[in-house]
A and B are shown apart, each in its own frame.
Chain A
Amino acid sequence: MQLRQMEPTTSAPAARLTRPLEGRLVMGVCQGVARHLGQEPVVLRLAFLLLTFAHGLGLIIYAVLWVFVPQEESEGGRRPVRDTAQLIAYTALGLGLFTVTVLFGGLETRDTTWPLALGGLGALILWQQADPGRRQGWASQVRQGWIRMLLGLALVVTGGIGVLVAEGDLKQASSGILFTLVVLGGVSVIVAPWLVGLVRELRRERRERIRQEERAEVAAHVHDSVLHTLTLIQLNADNSREVARLARAQERELRNWLYQPKGDADATLAAAVRRHAAEVEDDHGVPIEVVCVGDRELDDRLQAMLQAMREAAVNAAKHAETHVISVYAEVEPEQVMIFVRDRGKGFEMTGVPGDRMGVRQSIIGRMERHGGTARVRTAPGEGTEVMLTMGLT
């Protein structure tokens, strides 16, 4: 250990001894130690198993490490993953060794061993109760906290009495125990109200702190976005187009922050449609109303469809001289449809020169290359609608 600490280790985080969540068999102690020492876990596991037969030394070391070595940080409440098959193998091995030692009389048990083990187990359960971090893991298995508490207490008391009985001291100790109980009772009566008050105070403080943190987060967000935008608007007060653009962009951002579930940035069609529409809106200053029905994961063909949609929206924003563009995307079981519509000036399809790439290549060609279709309906003065359809197979 000393040596290891003096080494100029490059992997600093690994130097800290933790109990990993993945690949553990019981509580991850062996694996954690093995990782720390750069050994295979199997070596450590066998060592602990063998040490257990030396007056239970392995078990005690294991328990101590379990209590004092922190569990690995888990992201998002991951449940520990155990390899049950290996666990069974080790248990079988342990039982085998146990049988062998008993058969050959190699196991020197004193009468106090079992009571001590019971008491130790009880103490561990109580320990678990006391630490909120550890409590989590148990909560799913034994529901009521007080049942666990009672179980732990009962085990400790049984263990203690067992030791006394085995040593033949119970008679002498009983009056002492009684006296201790009375004193404890008296002390708890005196201290209890103060303790309760303290706990309440702590809880109140914690709530207050959470509230303040939340408020700080909201304030930070408002400051970064809203106040910033308001400043920009004041600076651009004489440029109505820019003001409108800023206001729209801020509105969109605020809405996202308020209503959008976190973390679905770009994985699905609806989110991507909204993002593309927002970008076109920002670039060209024409509001785009997006309506989405249904949703699904994105794939290459839908990406192509999105590009076509974007092109259509850009065209509408640049050429149609409209005050609003409507985008409607619908996901059906067998196909996806996206409509981009404006009420601008429209154009004559046949009047578009053949070398103009926009509509023919970027929209119709792109859709057809990916197995979809695009139709453009337009007439001068009637606005334009681009209809994109992509079949799903």
Chain B
Amino acid sequence: MIVDDHRLFRSGVRTELGDAVEVVGEAEDVDSAISAISSLKPDVVLLDVHMPGGGGQEVLRRVLGSGSTVRFLALSVSDAAEDVIGVIRGGARGYVTKTISGTELTDAVVRVADGDAVFSPRLAGFVLDAFASSEAPPIDPELDSLTQREREVLRLIARGYAYKEIARELYISVKTVETHVSSVLRKLQLSNRHELSRWANARRLV
């Protein structure tokens, strides 16, 4: 299912996605998205970050707040750190920019449907930056810092490597790479380090 307030963009995504993914519905604002999600029960929702009526974060808050387990993949033209970190903390399982190619998008949707996380190079960069920028000691060591391995994986994503290439580079399986990324996502969502949001706010750059 595609949620975006630009009709042209929705139809563009529909054609880009191809045969591997079936588009069950579209919505153009927060309210129609919420009712469509509850009636259509899609596997994955492609969610635009900026929409009238509160944007993607509002959809996330209301749908996930009601106990739904539908998975979200955020899709946006914005590369601002606060938007990216915002939707991820809001519960999206990945973030890709609208410049992504059709095959990559299809790949990302399939991966999110399988319960994995999808990080664009830029998101990986943000996460590395956010977790590295803390001088204060972490409150919860398990959640507030990345392991060496997770850092390596993120760095390779930021360098433009695909999961398969990362796996080969680090001599681990693709499944392990996915585990690492999911674990980073969990940390990103659960870490109550206020620095994360503060960092994102302080850094309003592309």
Number of A-B contacts (CB under 8 A): 51
Across the interface, which residues of B come within 8 angstroms of A341, CB to CB? 159-161
CA of A294 to CA of B80, assembled, Å? 16
CA of A289 to CA of B161, assembled, Å? 12
Chain A, 282-302, contact with B by CB distance < 8 Å: what is the 0/1 string? 000001010111100000000
A339, B125: Cβ atoms closer than 8 Å: no
Q: Which of B132, B160, B204 contacts A289 (CB 8 A)?
A: B160
Q: Could you show 30 A-B contacts with beta carbons less than 8 Å apart? A: A256-B206, A259-B79, A259-B80, A260-B205, A261-B204, A261-B205, A287-B99, A289-B122, A289-B160, A291-B121, A291-B122, A291-B124, A291-B125, A292-B125, A293-B128, A293-B129, A293-B158, A294-B132, A294-B133, A324-B160, A326-B121, A328-B158, A328-B160, A330-B128, A330-B155, A339-B159, A339-B160, A341-B159, A341-B161, A385-B159
Across the interface, which residues of B come within 8 angstroms of A324, CB to CB? 160
Chain B, 163-206, contact with A by CB distance < 8 Å: what is the 0/1 string? 00000000000000000000000000000000000000000111
A259, B121: Cβ atoms closer than 8 Å: no
Chain B, 64-106, contact with A by CB distance < 8 Å: what is the 0/1 string? 0000000000000001100000000000000000010000000
Interface residues of B (CB under 8 A from A): 79-80, 99, 121-122, 124-125, 128-129, 132-133, 155, 158-161, 204-206
Which residues of A (247-267) have their CB < 8 Å from a CB of B?
Answer: 255-256, 259-261
CA of A291 to CA of B206, assembled, Å? 9
B206, A260: Cβ atoms closer than 8 Å: yes
Which residues of A (325-362) have their CB < 8 Å from a CB of B?
Answer: 326, 328, 330, 339, 341, 343
A375 to chain B, nearest CB (A): 13
A264 to chain B, nearest CB (A): 9
Given contacts A259-B80, A291-B125, 5 further A-B contacts (CB under 8 A): A256-B206, A259-B204, A293-B158, A328-B159, A339-B159
B125, A293: Cβ atoms closer than 8 Å: yes
Across the interface, which residues of A come within 8 angstroms of B132, CB to CB? 293-294
CA of A260 to CA of B79, assembled, Å? 11
Across the interface, which residues of B come within 8 angstroms of A255, CB to CB? 79, 206
Query: Which one of B79, B133, B158, B161 has the highest number of Cβ atoms from chain A below 10 Å of its Cβ?
Result: B158
CA of A197 to CA of B143, assembled, Å? 58
CA of A83 to CA of B28, assembled, Å? 64
B158, A291: Cβ atoms closer than 8 Å: yes
A151 to chain B, nearest CB (A): 40
Query: Which one of A256, A289, A293, A343 has the highest number of Cβ atoms from chain B below 10 Å of its Cβ?
Result: A293
CB nearest to B162 among chain A residues: A343
A190 to chain B, nearest CB (A): 50
Interface residues of A (CB under 8 A from B): 255-256, 259-261, 287, 289, 291-294, 324, 326, 328, 330, 339, 341, 343, 385
B201 to chain A, nearest CB (A): 13
CA of A318 to CA of B99, assembled, Å? 22
CA of A293 to CA of B158, assembled, Å? 9
B183 to chain A, nearest CB (A): 19
B160, A259: Cβ atoms closer than 8 Å: no
CB nearest to A339 among chain B residues: B159
CA of A294 to CA of B132, assembled, Å? 8
CA of A343 to CA of B206, assembled, Å? 24
CA of A256 to CA of B206, assembled, Å? 7
A294, B129: Cβ atoms closer than 8 Å: yes
B205, A326: Cβ atoms closer than 8 Å: no
Across the interface, which residues of B come within 8 angstroms of A291, CB to CB? 121-122, 124-125, 158-159
CB nearest to B82 among chain A residues: A259
Q: A291-B125, A293-B125 are in contact. Are A326 and B159 (CB under 8 A)?
A: yes
Across the interface, which residues of A come within 8 angstroms of B80, CB to CB? 259
Across the interface, which residues of A come within 8 angstroms of B159, CB to CB? 291, 326, 328, 339, 341, 385
CA of A259 to CA of B82, assembled, Å? 11
The 5 closest A-B pairs by CB, nearest first: A326-B160, A291-B125, A328-B159, A339-B159, A293-B129
A292 to chain B, nearest CB (A): 7
A259, B128: Cβ atoms closer than 8 Å: no
Across the interface, which residues of A come within 8 angstroms of B155, CB to CB? 328, 330
CA of A234 to CA of B155, assembled, Å? 40
Across the interface, which residues of A come within 8 angstroms of B99, CB to CB? 287
Across the interface, which residues of B come within 8 angstroms of A287, CB to CB? 99
CB nearest to A287 among chain B residues: B99
CA of A339 to CA of B99, assembled, Å? 21
CA of A293 to CA of B206, assembled, Å? 12
B6 to chain A, nearest CB (A): 16
CA of A326 to CA of B165, assembled, Å? 14
CA of A113 to CA of B204, assembled, Å? 60
CA of A385 to CA of B159, assembled, Å? 9
A207 to chain B, nearest CB (A): 25
CB nearest to A256 among chain B residues: B206
B29 to chain A, nearest CB (A): 23
CB nearest to A324 among chain B residues: B160
B199 to chain A, nearest CB (A): 12
